[in-house]
Structure 1
Amino acid sequence: MYSRRRRRSICCCCVCFFLAILLGLGVMAFSLGFTFFKPKDPVITVDSISLADVDFAVDAPRLRVLLNVTIDAVVTVENPNVIGFRYGNSTGLMLYRGTTVGEVPIPGGRIEGSSRRLWNLKLALMADRLLHDPNFFSDAVSGVMGFQIAVTLPGKVTVIVDVDLVAYAICDVEIHLLARRMLTQTCFYRTKLS
């Protein structure tokens, strides 16, 4: 009788000791996951924006503007995390007064920890999307048009659980249509832990 009770006590102590070790390891892994491996936002940088092509003509008798613009953008995404960053399909956008007038797909993928990925994006203006904007004709006739280039990259890193991250880059560009050159470009970078 005494040996049975003693065996139960030893067994109970071993189980409690094992559970305490597992709980301690779990707390330690959780703490490390959100301190040493704390998720950091990926960083998008627009390295350069250039005009690849500008075709511009005004047909005054018909009150028409013929316009084709192609912009090349070199974009770098840096993953500062120790762990890989997985991102879904995304799109680089060209905007005119808030309306999407050009887009280029960015296929989903993975950027390993502490590494970068470089993209060459070619954004071609879809001129038919400008026709319904009441400001288009006056802006085009003035010879200077403003566009925005926007890249958004949503993704995840897994540190015990999946953590959603989103990075943004938005560049305002002004193009002199007659001179076929870029006048100004200003970029804003934003990251957000969602």
Structure 2
Amino acid sequence: MTTTELFHISDMEQQQQPPPYPPKPRRSCALRWILIFLPIFILLLLIILILSFTVFKAKDPTTQVVSVTVDGVSPEVILPQFKVELNITLNLQILVHNPNHASFKHGPGTTVVYYNGTQVAVGDISPGTVPATGSETFANKLNLQADRFVSEISELISDLMAGEFEVETKSTVPGRVKFLGIFHKHVVSLSDCRIVIGISNLKVRSQECNNKIKF
């Protein structure tokens, strides 16, 4: 076999060799990182969900009237004009309790006093923040003036002659509980009380309260 034939055979063999494999695409590396971090992300998500339904589950803050005192001058009826002199102040101590493991931020609240269904006084509750699993007490003063009882004057005179009268207070505290900077819950905490006040000594004779939550 001549030298020319050998070179010809060598060229044919080189032409028949398969081309080299192309380099692997970079997406295989990205897929590897996704497979690593995806289980970690799912695990963290499960932990957050478990905490949100256990330790960090939103509980309802409560508002409660814990103390009521009365200041002022004992009301009296002036005859024969049937005029009532009334100038007393209800001093309410309102407790807001937050059972959550996150702070409860509440806006301005109000306490409204009713006599026989007629509004006779309004007091403000300052905004603030109740710490996690903590409580805060607010002082609320409400002045009852005779001119606000005009529409119920006959009922008031009857109660004064009987030696006691009853008022109803409605306290409202709106706010929000926020967990982990992600989850939040809006609530309105309410406390309704019926208070019976003695005329002769301006003492609270009985107090009955009902606390509830509105969403």
Q: Do the two structures share a fold, i.e. TM-score over 0.5? A: yes
| Aligned residue runs from structure 1 range 61-100, under 5 A | 61-100=80-119
Please tell me whether residue 153 in structure 1 is matched to residue 168 in structure 2. no
Counterparts of 2:63 and 2:133, CA distance in 1 = 14
Counterparts of 1:131 and 1:66, CA distance in 2 = 12
| Partner of residue 162, structure 1 | 184
| Partner of residue 30, structure 1 | 49
Counterparts of 2:97 and 2:128, CA distance in 1 = 13
Structure 1 residue 16: deviation in Å?
4.9
Which has the larger share of strand? 1
Instruction: Report the TM-score when normalising by structure 1.
Output: 0.86
Counterparts of 2:23 and 2:72, CA distance in 1 = 90
| Partner of residue 75, structure 2 | 56
Opposite residue 147 of structure 1, the aligned amino acid is V
| Partner of residue 178, structure 1 | 200
Opposite residue 172 of structure 2, the aligned amino acid is T
Counterparts of 2:187 and 2:171, CA distance in 1 = 14
Deviations 1:70-91, CA, capped at 9 Å, x for gaps: 1112222111111000000011
Instruction: Report the TM-score when normalising by structure 2.
Output: 0.78
Indicate which of 131, 138, 155 corresponds to 1:135.
155
Greater Cα offset, 138-147 or 76-85: 138-147
Structure 1 residue 19: deviation in Å?
4.2
SS of the residue aligned with 1:22? Answer: helix
C-alpha spacing 1:67/1:34, structure 2 compared with 1 (3 Å): same
Which has the larger share of helix? 2
* Identity in percent: 30
Structure 1 residue 2: deviation in Å?
4.3
Conservation of the 8 A alpha-carbon contact between 2:77 and 2:157: no
Structure 1 vs Structure 2 CA RMSD? 2.2
Q: Provide the aligned length of Structure 1 versus Structure 2.
A: 192
C-alpha spacing 1:11/1:2, structure 2 compared with 1 (3 Å): farther
SS of the residue aligned with 1:135? Answer: helix
Conservation of the 8 A alpha-carbon contact between 2:76 and 2:160: no
